Chains A and B, each alone.
Chain A
Amino acid sequence: MRLHKAIPIPKGLLSPSPCSYSTKTKTRTRTRTKTKTPVQQHRFYSTHPPAARLNIPTDFSTTSILNHSAQSTLQNPELPPDIRNGTTKRMNLFQSINDALSLALAADESVILFGEDVAFGGVFRCSMGLAENFGTERVFNTPLSEQGIVGFGIGAAAEGMKAVAEIQFADYVYPAFDQLVNEAAKFRYRDGIEGRHSGGLTVRMPCGGVGHGALYHSQSPESLFTHIPGLRVIMPRSPVQAKGLLLSAIASNDPCVFMEPKALYRAAVEQVPTGSYYLPLSKAEILKEGSDLTIVSYGNPIYTCSAAIEKAEKDLGISIELIDLRTVYPWDKECVLKSVRKTGRCMVVHESMVNAGIGAEVAASIQEDKETFLRLEAPVMRVAGWSVHMALMFERFNIPDVARVYDTIKRTVEY
């Protein structure tokens, strides 16, 4: 089926190392103008034009989206009191997922973890040390067969296990589409009063662009699953979110598709509570309050939105509200509608293709709601991947960047 898949992305290529971009913009601009355009053969994935003001790669070490101090993490009102009084540890996204899996395995004997190459730690290191700690009966490799992995998980879940299955890349989930759509999603419904279900199933999958993943290591197929009643589709934006949402997905009695933006595995680092905590599913989070425009997004583009908001607010003298959907289905419509009724403007940003994407559902729901429709002062806009496949050399022109988000903010408020 695939030519190459189990390739851990080398650290340097995944994301700019924080130190490369931690200098202030001013300094960098000055240096760059002095030394002509450098030929940067080795870092062509994350470079930006010398005069760029908007399309500057995210500096994960300073972004306000991540909690750089324990204090800021523990202030989160969604965390229970014991966690807020507890400790934190610096973790990147793969470490926080590993931590969540480890806690879930330790807390409940019915949790099992399996997939391709999971036993040695996983190609993205998410299951590192788990087979050693919890035994190869509970953390194990499966044959290379996605339909087998998900079918196996459904059966185990139907007999009372908490089955956490891994699909190595979201791009390879399609062989399991039948099992997810016709079986996992409909299991409870068709069983009627018998009450059996596959809610113990959680299917984890790395998703999204990573700079050089091309056609089959870059996809975000969330919309294919949001069309399916019965599945919960979740995509976290950060290590704190990933841990809390993954623990909730595993605990949930509904089958969950848990999509992990792989570009954040090593790049996003923050202080993560060390204990077990559960963040609510199907509940959006207002990351930043504002009064003139609502931006709805999820996953990796949250960072792009945040950077664009910073520039736009300064340049245009406006105030923007940023909402992270977190669960893209069943989604928190009420939170979005309430925000748009306040701001009168809305745009949706996501990485996957614009056609029939999450943006379509959000935009349609906004215009369909009478009360919200009457408050609209501009068309609902979508910034998303073009309706094309992810071509290797053109990824940076396909995934929404700060300039495109900034431009759409500008056009929306100036409408």
Chain B
Amino acid sequence: MSTRPLLCQRWSSSLGQKPGATSVRFPGAIHSQFSNTLKFYQTPSPIDTYRTMSQDGDIVDADYTPESDAIALGLYENMLKVSIMDMIMFDAQRQGRLSFYMTGQGEEGTCVGSASALAAEDVLFCQYREAGVFVQRGFTFDDFMSQLFANVKDSGKGRNMPVHYGSKALNIHTISSPLATQLPQASGAAYALKMQRLTNPNIPPRVVACYFGEGAASEGDFHAALNIAATRSCPVIFICRNNGYAISTPTLEQYRGDGIASRGTGYGIDTIRVDGNDIWAVREVTKRARELALKDGGRPVLIEAMSYRISHHSTSDDSFAYRARVEVEDWKRRDNPITRLRKYLENKKVWDEEKETAARARIRKEVLKAFATAEKEKKPAMRTMFEDIYEELTPEIREQMKELKSVIERYPDEYDVSEFEGGKESLAP
């Protein structure tokens, strides 16, 4: 304090340390206070998990305004749809009628609840366990089945593994298998939406929502995505489905911090943890996150939805090899998003056992009908194998298409092309 004149001299400069200052003026951490005590920081107390209703379906947040019964029934129906389709398709794969499937049991609330809070024009990126998002957005059983059977009606032209859905009309980008790659893409897409609205204010404000599991959050792309979204102020909502397992790896071997949520604040991102088995909490949190993401020109938000992966990882996985059957049964019985909303509806006397049975039978019939139709459809034309690599066919690809046709013609007994639309003729240049 004895250096007052000097202090005045230094005022004009924005660089360097003010003499006698109590806070740091390093460019890398401008709000830090000096401390004269040597101390290492540990994980602060765990971030709370927000819920609106108890396991018995009673609203516990006094400030929460419940939605209409019509909305509640709609969301319940959509969760039932995913859950019933999952059971049927899992068995279908076991019977060898489908090459692969992944169910989302236990996570219907996260997917249906969050998707219900987004606008139809919001752009979505998914990982693969988000059938509920697709159902909520209007993907039909026919759409699901066409993709799963890779038939001629599959919008992916039979190129992708089952459950790699996509829909331009519903603004959901097509799923790809590499984990977390969609995260930085979501940041870029969000930046595009922000720029487009800056250029044309008539475009409604839009956000991007990006789904991923807690395992995927260990990828470098997670880090890249959150950091770039924060520095470029992108209106993107990152929705993490923390279901406790990445295939066989429990979260204890995935990370040692306070889940995924604790990382969000490290990137300067508004973050919240929510009970994924509480569809109202997920919906409310997503609604608020959307408002926040659009505030002040845009910013990212991170939601960590806690749930439990009741199902096996996929049809190629037997999860009882790494976790106890009793643990799964316990979660199934104790709490899951469907039973919790059912209790809520029953408490309100708008649902009962009879309605439940009828709805399940109806949905099951719808799934089986779409299943049977899709299974009978032809496979896409063989030509589609060669198309869409580039905007136009290259001479090299044309040549190879011709070559394949010629091989099939010279060895007709070696190939069955009858199930493909147009047979080998589609390969004509």
List residues of chain A with CB under 8 Å of any chain B CB. Answer: 109-110, 112, 137-138, 140, 142-143, 145, 147-161, 163, 175, 178-179, 182-183, 186, 188-197, 199, 229-230, 232, 252-254, 282, 330, 333-334
Extra A-B contacts (13), CB below 8 Å, given A147-B184, A191-B166: A140-B232, A148-B223, A148-B227, A153-B188, A154-B184, A155-B188, A160-B192, A183-B176, A188-B388, A188-B391, A189-B388, A190-B164, A192-B157
CB<8 Å pairs between A and B, sample of 13: A109-B199, A112-B191, A137-B195, A151-B183, A151-B187, A158-B173, A159-B123, A188-B390, A188-B391, A190-B159, A192-B388, A195-B168, A196-B174
Cβ-based interface call for B16 (8 A): no
Cβ-based interface call for B368 (8 A): no
Contacts of B154 in A (CB 8 A): 192
Q: Is there contact, CB below 8 Å, between B156 and A192?
A: yes
Contacts of A334 in B (CB 8 A): 395
In the complex, which of the residues B155, B164, B185 contacts A151, with contact meaning CB atoms closer than 8 Å? B185
Q: Is there contact, CB below 8 Å, between B221 and A158?
A: no
Q: Is there contact, CB below 8 Å, between A145 and B227?
A: yes
Contacts of A191 in B (CB 8 A): 155-156, 166, 168, 173-174, 388
Q: Is there contact, CB below 8 Å, between A190 and B160?
A: yes
In order of increasing CB-CB distance, the 10 nearest A-B pairs are A151-B184, A155-B188, A148-B224, A155-B185, A152-B188, A159-B192, A155-B189, A192-B157, A156-B188, A194-B168
Cβ-based interface call for B198 (8 A): yes
Q: Is there contact, CB below 8 Å, between A143 and B228?
A: yes
Distance of A145 Cα from B225 Cα, bound (Å): 9
Q: Is there contact, CB below 8 Å, between A182 and B176?
A: yes
Q: Which residue of B lies closest to A331 (CB)?
A: B396
In the complex, which of the residues B181, B198, B390 contacts A183, with contact meaning CB atoms closer than 8 Å? B181
Contacts of B187 in A (CB 8 A): 148, 151-152, 155
In the complex, which of the residues A109, A153, A160, A190 contacts B166, with contact meaning CB atoms closer than 8 Å? A190
Distance of A194 Cα from B160 Cα, bound (Å): 13
Q: Is there contact, CB below 8 Å, between B156 and A155?
A: no
Contacts of B199 in A (CB 8 A): 109
Q: Is there contact, CB below 8 Å, between A147 and B227?
A: no
Distance of A232 Cα from B221 Cα, bound (Å): 24
Q: Is there contact, CB below 8 Å, between B220 and A161?
A: no
Distance of A186 Cα from B224 Cα, bound (Å): 21
Contacts of A282 in B (CB 8 A): 394
Cβ-based interface call for B341 (8 A): no
Contacts of B196 in A (CB 8 A): 159-160
Q: Is there contact, CB below 8 Å, between B225 and A148?
A: yes
Q: Which of B209-230 contact A (CB under 8 A)?
A: 220-221, 223-225, 227-228
Q: Which residue of A lies closest to B385 (CB)?
A: A189
Contacts of B156 in A (CB 8 A): 190-192, 194
Distance of A137 Cα from B234 Cα, bound (Å): 12
Distance of A3 Cα from B156 Cα, bound (Å): 44
Distance of A206 Cα from B223 Cα, bound (Å): 25
Q: Is there contact, CB below 8 Å, between B231 and A143?
A: yes
Instruction: Given A189-B159, A195-B168, decide whether A156 and B391 contact each other with a Cβ distance below 8 A.
Output: no
Chain B CB count within 10 A is highest, among A109, A142, A155, for A155
Contacts of A195 in B (CB 8 A): 168
Instruction: Given A192-B154, A330-B390, decide whether A145 and B228 contact each other with a Cβ distance below 8 A.
Output: yes
Contacts of B96 in A (CB 8 A): none
Distance of A189 Cα from B395 Cα, bound (Å): 18
Cβ-based interface call for B389 (8 A): yes
Q: Is there contact, CB below 8 Å, between A182 and B174?
A: no
Q: Is there contact, CB below 8 Å, between B184 and A148?
A: yes
CB distance from B142 to the nearest CB of A (A): 15
CB distance from B9 to the nearest CB of A (A): 30
Q: Which residue of B lies closest to A143 (CB)?
A: B227
Distance of A47 Cα from B221 Cα, bound (Å): 45
Q: Which residue of B lies closest to A200 (CB)?
A: B192
CB distance from B404 to the nearest CB of A (A): 15
Q: Which of B130-157 contact A (CB under 8 A)?
A: 154-157
Q: Which residue of A lies closest to B390 (CB)?
A: A254
Distance of A368 Cα from B406 Cα, bound (Å): 17
Distance of A175 Cα from B219 Cα, bound (Å): 12
Q: Which residue of A lies closest to B193 (CB)?
A: A159
Q: Is there contact, CB below 8 Å, between B178 and A183?
A: yes
Cβ-based interface call for B186 (8 A): yes
Q: Is there contact, CB below 8 Å, between A151 and B225?
A: yes
Q: Which residue of A lies closest to B123 (CB)?
A: A159
Distance of A163 Cα from B196 Cα, bound (Å): 13
In the complex, which of the residues A112, A186, A199 contacts B195, with contact meaning CB atoms closer than 8 Å? A112
Q: Is there contact, CB below 8 Å, between A148 and B195?
A: no
Instruction: Given A155-B188, A156-B191, A158-B189, decide whether A196 and B228 contact each other with a Cβ distance below 8 A.
Output: no
Instruction: Given A148-B224, A189-B159, decide whether A163 and B188 contact each other with a Cβ distance below 8 A.
Output: yes
One digit per residue, 1 when the CB lies within 8 angstroms of any chain A CB and 0 when it does not, for chain B 156-174 equals 1101100010111000011
Contacts of B125 in A (CB 8 A): 155
Distance of A40 Cα from B189 Cα, bound (Å): 53
Contacts of B174 in A (CB 8 A): 190-192, 194, 196
Instruction: Given A142-B232, A333-B395, decide whether A158 and B185 contact each other with a Cβ distance below 8 A.
Output: yes
Q: Which residue of A lies closest to B389 (CB)?
A: A229
Contacts of A197 in B (CB 8 A): 391
CB distance from A46 to the nearest CB of B (A): 39
Distance of A251 Cα from B214 Cα, bound (Å): 38
Contacts of A140 in B (CB 8 A): 232
Q: Is there contact, CB below 8 Å, between A230 and B395?
A: no
CB distance from A189 to the nearest CB of B (A): 5
Distance of A250 Cα from B125 Cα, bound (Å): 25
Q: Is there contact, CB below 8 Å, between B192 and A148?
A: no
Instruction: Given A152-B228, A189-B388, decide whether A196 and B173 contact each other with a Cβ distance below 8 A.
Output: yes
Chain B CB count within 10 A is highest, among A152, A186, A229, for A152
CB distance from B23 to the nearest CB of A (A): 25
Contacts of A333 in B (CB 8 A): 395-396
Q: Is there contact, CB below 8 Å, between B164 and A155?
A: no
CB distance from A232 to the nearest CB of B (A): 8
Distance of A258 Cα from B388 Cα, bound (Å): 21
Q: Which residue of B lies closest to A142 (CB)?
A: B228
Q: Is there contact, CB below 8 Å, between B168 and A151?
A: no
Instruction: Given A151-B183, A159-B123, decide whether A192 and B159 contact each other with a Cβ distance below 8 A.
Output: yes
Q: Is there contact, CB below 8 Å, between A230 and B188?
A: no
Distance of A160 Cα from B188 Cα, bound (Å): 11
Q: Which residue of B lies closest to A138 (CB)?
A: B195
Q: Which residue of B lies closest to A332 (CB)?
A: B395
Instruction: Given A151-B224, A161-B192, A330-B394, decide whether A192 and B185 contact each other with a Cβ distance below 8 A.
Output: no
In the complex, which of the residues A145, A149, A158 contacts B223, with contact meaning CB atoms closer than 8 Å? A145
Chain A CB count within 10 A is highest, among B164, B174, B397, for B174
Q: Is there contact, CB below 8 Å, between A147 and B176?
A: no
Contacts of A196 in B (CB 8 A): 168, 173-174
Chain B CB count within 10 A is highest, among A149, A179, A192, A197, for A192
Distance of A334 Cα from B176 Cα, bound (Å): 35
In the complex, which of the residues B190, B220, B391 contacts A253, with contact meaning CB atoms closer than 8 Å? B391
CB distance from B270 to the nearest CB of A (A): 19
Contacts of B123 in A (CB 8 A): 159
